[in-house]
Chain A
C-alpha cells in the first residue's frame, strides 16, 4: 500500500536563531520524503536565507506580517500532502515523531488526527536567572500543540483554517471547531515534540495576550453550544 504523502508547515517570524534546527529535525524523519513549507511572515532577520540554504528540500513562502494563524493557513494553501503537520520554528520534532503518528493514521482509517506527547526545554541561550523564575513544567506530557498534531487533510479542511485575528490561543479556537466538526483524534504515548522555552515564545501570556485566549475560549464554547443546541432547537 502506498504511504500517504505528508506536508509540514513551519511558520516563522524572526526565527533565524532556531529555524535550521527545526528544519533539520523534520529532514531526519524516517520514511518517504516530506514536503517542507517554510512561511516567512515578514521577518526582518536572516530567516529567509536560512530557509533557502536548504535548497530544494524546503519551499519558502514569504509574505507581509499577518500573524501565526495566517502564516499557517498560507503554508497549508501550498501544501500537496494528503496528511498535514505543523512545527513552530523554535521547536523540534523527535526523530521518530512522524513515523509514530503516521502509523496510527495508516492503521486506523476512522482516526482523523493524532497527537503525540511533548517535552519542554530551556534554550541554552536563556539566562538561567530568568528561567529560574518561571514555573515551566519540564515533564513529558500530552498536549494538543499544533506541532504535536498530524491530521488528514480532508479532516483539517472540515474544520477550516486557523483564526487570523488571534495573536495566541489560535489552537484553542481551532480545537473547539474541530470538536464541533466531530474530528476523531487519537493520543499516543510517543514523545513527538520538543518545545523550546526561550523567553520570546509567542504564547507566553502577557496581560494583553490573555485577552486573546479568553476570546478563543468564548468562541470554543459558542461553537460547541451551537452544535449541541442548533438554532431553533427547544
Chain B
C-alpha cells in the first residue's frame, strides 16, 4: 500500500477524516464528506528542546532534568508528531515511508507516543493545524521506535533558571578562526 505524500494524508485515519485540518474542512465544504475531531501532538516547547544529531534524536526536559535519545525510526516518528500529525497519520506516514503495513506498526507507534506523553515531552491538542509531513528521503529501515530515558545529568540540567538572556555571555572565537 502506498500513500500520496500530501498534507491531506495527515487528516485521514482508520477511514475517518479529521475535521480540524484546514484542507479537510475546505474539501468537506464542497463534497459534504463526514469528519471527526482528531487530536494531534504539540511539542512542550517551553520546557523541552530537541535536535537530531548524527541520525539520533536527542531531547532534554529542562524542568525534570531528564534527557532522552531515540535512533532508527524514532527521529522520523518524532518529526511527524512535532509537525502536528495525529497518531494515526504518523503511523500511516511512517508505514508508507518505511514500506511496511500500517497495521504492523500501530502498537509500536502508539507505544512511542505513550512514552513521549508520559515524559511530558509533547501534549495533545485539538487546535487547528496544517501539518507538513517531514521529508521521506533516505527513509530508515523500519525498527520499533524506542525512547531511551536518562536521568544522570539532572543536577547540571536543572542548574539554571529557564529564561532567555541576551547573547552577551562568554563568546567563542568563530570556528573559521580556530583553523
Contact = CB atoms under 8 A, between A and B. Distances in A.
Interface of A: 13, 41, 64-68, 120, 133-137, 141-145, 165, 167, 171-172, 175, 195, 197, 199-211, 213-215, 217-218, 220-221
Given A142-B155, A200-B165, A214 B170 contact: no
A202 B51 contact: no
B161 A135 contact: yes
Contact of A201 (B69, B155, B160): B160
Contacts of B50: 214
Interface of B: 49-51, 53-54, 56, 58, 60, 62, 67, 69, 150, 153, 155-173, 175, 178
A145 B156 contact: yes
Q: Identify the 3 closest CB pairs spanning chains A and B, nearest first.
A: A143-B155, A134-B161, A67-B172
16 contacts: A65-B171, A133-B163, A137-B158, A142-B155, A143-B159, A144-B156, A145-B156, A172-B156, A195-B159, A202-B169, A206-B167, A210-B49, A214-B51, A214-B53, A214-B60, A218-B54
B165 A144 contact: no
Contacts of A141: 155
A205 B153 contact: no
Contacts of A68: 170
Given A171-B156, A205-B62, A218 B56 contact: yes
A204 B160 contact: yes
Contacts of B166: 200
Nearest to A88: B170
B32 to A, nearest CB: 45
Given A66-B172, A167-B170, A172 B153 contact: yes
B155 to A, nearest CB: 3
Contacts of A133: 163
Contact of B160 (A172, A205, A217): A205
Contacts, number: 106
Contacts of A195: 159
A205 B162 contact: yes
Main secondary structure of the interface of B (DSSP, over half): loop
A215 B53 CA distance: 7
Contacts of B172: 65-67, 167
A90 to B, nearest CB: 10
A194 to B, nearest CB: 14
Contacts of B153: 172, 175, 217, 220
Contacts of A215: 51, 53, 58
B170 A13 contact: yes
A172 B56 CA distance: 18
Contact of A214 (B58, B155, B178): B58
Given A144-B155, A144-B156, A221-B69, 16 more contacts: A67-B171, A67-B172, A134-B163, A199-B165, A201-B165, A201-B169, A202-B170, A204-B160, A204-B161, A206-B165, A210-B49, A213-B49, A217-B60, A218-B54, A218-B56, A221-B150
A211 B52 CA distance: 10
A206 B164 CA distance: 5
B49 A214 contact: yes
Contact of B159 (A145, A208, A210): A145
B173 A66 contact: yes
A144 B49 CA distance: 22
B101 to A, nearest CB: 30
A217 B60 CA distance: 9
A165 B71 CA distance: 24
Contacts of B175: 165
A199 B69 CA distance: 31
A47 to B, nearest CB: 12
A211 B51 CA distance: 7
B71 to A, nearest CB: 10
